[in-house]
Amino acid sequence: MTPSEFYGAGFPYRPTGELLGKLIVLEGSDGVGRSTQINLLRTWLESEGYAVSDTGLRRSNLTQPGLDAAKLGHTLGRQTMSLFYATDFADRLENQIIPALRAGFHVLSDRYFYSIIARDIVRGADPVWARKLYGIALKPDVVFYLRGDIPTLIKRMIHGRGFNYWESGMDFHLADDLYDSFCLYQSRLIEQFDQMAEEYGFVTIDATRPIPVVFEDLKRKIKPLLEEEISQI
């Protein structure tokens, strides 16, 4: 990554300087396999001799305890929750992601602000307002959109961690039970991700395939980024 590019004003009071690492984002629905692929990619990159840092939603030391407590107690309104997530993102960007990139680490991000926007819009937020919140966001070097269909997501959730309140969108009463609500909520999220894939230039990956096949596909697409880095030295 060379001179910093942001979706809006960035951090006007704090120049980022030269960013030596690559920001690689994995996006997609709940249960699509992002975390699994992040772990595989980290192991692979480190075995190739690269310094790697990873991040994801609700990993800010500043906001994580409050967000977790709010979700557990269902205590915040939708707009307040949106702003809470935006604060989490800003803190991680300023104090985790950008410093790591400046130090030459490749940063693997399990979701970025796109997931937050998709969730907000599905819950009724104004799309323009939601996007303007993230004018501080650094443009990633690449965003991989792991796209899964509803039957695949259901199968993975059943054989994995199961359905939960938030991933099923139960907070805005789409259906009476977790299963039906999950199907409706995730379908709406996929619609948002499909729109953003075109808007933001995501690289779409068919995540219905076996995990090793998806991993090899990601590796094949990431290697040119690493070769670009070497050619600039």
pLDDT in tens, the chain (233 residues): 444 689 988 887 777 888 999 999 999 999 999 999 999 999 999 999 999 999 988 778 888 788 778 777 666 788 888 898 899 999 999 999 999 999 999 999 999 999 999 999 999 999 999 999 999 999 999 999 999 999 999 999 988 888 888 888 888 888 889 999 999 999 999 999 999 999 999 999 999 999 999 999 999 999 999 987 655 54
* In-domain check, residue 8: no
Q: What are phi and psi of 40, to 5 degrees?
A: -65, -45
Q: What are phi and psi of 25, to 5 degrees?
A: -110, 135
* In-domain check, residue 15: no
* In-domain check, residue 177: yes
* In-domain check, residue 10: no
Q: Residue 146 carries which DSSP code?
A: E
pTM: predicted TM-score of the whole model, two decimal places: 0.91
Query: What is the SS3 assignment for 154?
Result: helix
* In-domain check, residue 147: yes
Domain CATH for 61: 3.40.50.300
User: Which structural domain, as residue segments, surrounds residue 148?
Assistant: 23-228
User: CB of 26 within 8 A of CB of 146?
Assistant: yes
Token duo for residue 115: 């997931």
* In-domain check, residue 174: yes
* In-domain check, residue 163: yes
* In-domain check, residue 18: no
The number of folded domains in the chain is 1
